[in-house]
Amino acid sequence: MQASLHDFYQQPLKRSVRQGDIALCEFHQLRSRSGEGAGPGPQEVSNEDVPYFGAYRDWPLEIDRPGTSDKATRVLRVWFGPVMVVHQNCEIEYADSQDARLQVAPVVSTAQWPAGPWEEIRRKSLPSFFHLPPTTEDQAPGLALETPWPEAAVALASTTCVSRGMVKPYRILSLSAESLPSLQESIVRFTTVRGWGSQAALEQLIGKQIVAVKQTAETVPGPSPLAKVVLRDEHGDPDEITVVWGVRRTGRPAGG
Amino acid sequence: MSRDAVLEEATLKRTLHETMPTPIASTAWPPARGSKLSHPSCLETLWDERAAWVTIPRSWLGETSLGRVELEPESEAYGSGALLFADTIAVAVEALSHSVVGYLTATPRRTEPWLSRTSALFELAMDSPAELARDATAELREVGELARLSPTELGPLFGASRRSVYNWLAGRPINDAIRANIFQARDALAAVAATRDPILVRTWLDDGDPSPATLIARADWQQLREAVHATTMPVRALSDGEADGHLGEWPDEPDFEPIKRAALLAFADPGGPTSRRRPQWQPREDTGLGDHEQEEDE
């Protein structure tokens, strides 16, 4: 259940970085120089599936590779804007003192990305976005914001690793303790559970061989755990689907 | 610079002083656009006037298919030696003698203090077939799009009024000098725009002293090319020692408040033109949460 708006956000804790903090800093994608899609980046390639994160700049890099004197040219695409810390809290707290890694995901706003599927994001229908509701004028001062926070979403598919020093001093907002679980649920859903496939996606399963069925710890409303059905096609490509298939503890198939 | 190079340059300077007695007569040079210069007359022009120091950028040579004419990169620089002077003349002759393209424009570049008896350096621009086919109106529009400049903001780049820019964008004729400047500006901005968002292209355009916008207004293409190169060149790897000093982020600790204000403003403000939603778009996956919550609400 989503926390009510007034306690969805809070000011970040001064002492430490935590999951759900929002900071203003650089984030990036390391890219090949050519031969792949141009986005995310240019506004003209943004659409319902490709978010627009605002102004970016590409930095060409020459990378040494083992076994050859030829350098690979890569491009580091860098943005500056809001990111949300998605790094797990225990990983942050118990990390080695020399460990500077911090996973963050960029935040995209409705203003910058009007072509985004915002209805679906608000409904939490899309696994790859975590919705961030807007604040009102009245709420902004209580969160130490000069202007209201706009409606936005965390783009989990652009999660990247930055240095902690780039994030900690530049945090501006944080999820409240009550709303943090919904972020964690989104992260789990994005990386594992996903969602319901379309009829077309289901039809793509025809012809694949079932090679394993594993019970998961996930449940849907009701007593039945979900099961993972692991598939493989004729080329050996693996795939998996999660099915609502009640399995009795006794091992006898439900209804069987 | 080596001793030999210094001597060579000194010799060149002395030679030029002795052999370039008069400024260029504006009626004689540059030739009008479209006037076809044959090999002998051009050769005579170059040798007779002796005040035009001519170079042909390597990239233009590439476009004219004169692949066998090779220039070393330093040949594009001015004032690097007598040999360069002789070579560039030779290259110009070589290019013209093939008559691949015979249309020339010449643009005053800059006055070298030590060439006191010459009027200016000239850049010999060869219109390749591709160049002749370029659409100045379209490229002017592209300059505006690449850096999100309005017609009012485009005007100063080309020494023109807002009205003139509107006229050009409406398809009115653009004079040769402005056309050449538009092409140069477009090529420079396209190279920069390939590496960043249009908002940052505009930032780059106004950044520095002289800024790239100023260089365009001055038609200083050599410096503009250097500015483009500087901002698009590969990032240099830090050595071990250097890395230690660079690990502190924002080491000079700028005031965060203005950065925060500007970043949040950009985040909340609609930007430029964006793609529209596709009516047929459907998500490939649906968590089912939306429907579930709707059911609960009901």
Residue positions counted in chain B: 298
Which CATH code, of 3.40.50.300, 2.60.40.10, 3.40.630.30, 2.30.30.110, is assigned to A9-193?
2.30.30.110
| Of B87 and A43, the one with more pLDDT | A43
In a domain, B109, yes or no: yes
- The residue whose two tokens read 């690990």 is B247
In a domain, B53, yes or no: yes
- pLDDT given for residue A141 in this prediction: 92
- pLDDT given for residue A9 in this prediction: 95
In a domain, B225, yes or no: yes
Where would I find the H helices in chain A? 89-93, 118-122, 139-142, 180-188, 199-203
Domain encompassing residue B153: 136-232
> What is chain B's mean pLDDT, rounded?
62
Query: What's the domain count of chain B?
Result: 2
Q: Note whether A219 contacts B: Cβ–Cβ < 8 A.
A: no
Instruction: Kindly report the number of other CB atoms within 10 A of residue A83's CB atom.
Output: 31
Residues of chain A with Cβ-Cβ distance to B293 below 8 Å are: 123-124
Whether the Cβ atoms of residue B131 and residue B186 lie closer than 8 Å to each other = no
CB contact under 8 A, B274 and A113: yes
Tell me: do B70 and B144 sit in the same domain.
no
Tell me: do B201 and B223 sit in the same domain.
yes
Instruction: Kindly report the number of other CB atoms within 10 A of residue A247's CB atom.
Output: 15
- Closest alpha carbon to A85 in A9, A149, A18, A143: A18
Judged against a pLDDT cut of 50, whether residue B73 lies above it is answered with: no
How confident is residue B61, by pLDDT bands cut at 50, 70 and 90?
very low
CB contact under 8 A, B235 and A111: no
* Domain final residue pick, B98, B128, B158: B128
Residues of chain A with Cβ-Cβ distance to B289 below 8 Å are: 123-125
Please state, in angstroms and as integers, the Cα–Cα distance from residue B42 to each residue in A61, B128, B129, following that order.
Answer: 45, 17, 20
Nearest by CB to residue B263, choosing from A45, A80, A150, is: A80
The mean pLDDT of B144-153, rounded to a whole number, is 93
Instruction: Name the residue ranges covered by the structural domains of chain A.
Output: 9-193, 199-244
- pLDDT given for residue B244 in this prediction: 56
Tell me: do B41 and B107 sit in the same domain.
yes
pLDDT tens digits for range A96-136: 999 999 999 999 999 999 989 999 999 998 999 999 999 99
3-state class (DSSP) for residue B192: helix
Q: Rounded CA gap, A78 and A100, in Å?
A: 19
- pLDDT given for residue A29 in this prediction: 96
Roughly what angle, to the nearest 10 degrees, separates helices B136-147 and B176-193? Answer: 40
Burial readout A24-53 (b: 16 or more C-beta within 10 A, e: otherwise):
bbbbbbebeeeeeeebbbbbeebbbbbbbb
- pLDDT given for residue B87 in this prediction: 32
- Closest alpha carbon to B169 in A69, B177, B158, B257: B158
Interface confidence (ipTM) of the complex: 0.79
Residues of chain A with Cβ-Cβ distance to B193 below 8 Å are: none
In a domain, B35, yes or no: yes
A 55-74 → B contacts, CB under 8 A: 55-62, 64, 73
How confident is residue A91, by pLDDT bands cut at 50, 70 and 90?
very high
- pLDDT given for residue A95 in this prediction: 93
